[in-house]
Amino acid sequence: MTDLTTHVLDLFHGRPAEGVPLRLYRAESQELLAECRTDRTGRAACTPPGKALLEAGRYEIVFAIAGYFTQAGISLPEPPFLDEIVIRFGMSGTTDPVHIPLLITPWSYTVYRGQ
């Protein structure tokens, strides 16, 4: 079982992305496990309420990026180029924490497994 965190950085403004809504799903069943927002440092813990750790399996984190940039005063086309970013990933069930940093602009993103 594993701990899951994320960190969203707004490269357009050069700062942490505060207030990005995100949802965590079990990928196979699309069961919603958690909903949260990034804090002022752009970080969020994604472990579902009432669970200390996540089991092995496939998961998805959905980041509501267009809403974040609209709230930040950026005029986006309709539909926006990036609306929601879906990251599908696997967790092996080890006790090693999984950290997923996401670097964003209104037109691009980079994601990787961090420590």
Domains along the chain with CATH numbers: 4-111 (2.60.40.180)
Task: Say whether 93 sits in a helix, a strand or coil.
Answer: coil
pTM: 0.90
Dig out the tokens for 17 from the structure. Answer: 């992305």
Q: How confident is the model at residue 49 (pLDDT cuts 50, 70, 90)?
A: low
The tally of CA atoms less than 13 A away on the side-chain side of residue 106 is 18
Dig out the tokens for 50 from the structure. Answer: 């009432």
Closest CA relative to residue 7, chosen from 48, 30, 36, 50: 36
| pLDDT per residue as tens digits for the range 58-97 | 999 999 999 999 999 999 999 999 999 999 999 887 667 8
- Integer Cα distance of 33 and 45 in angstroms: 12
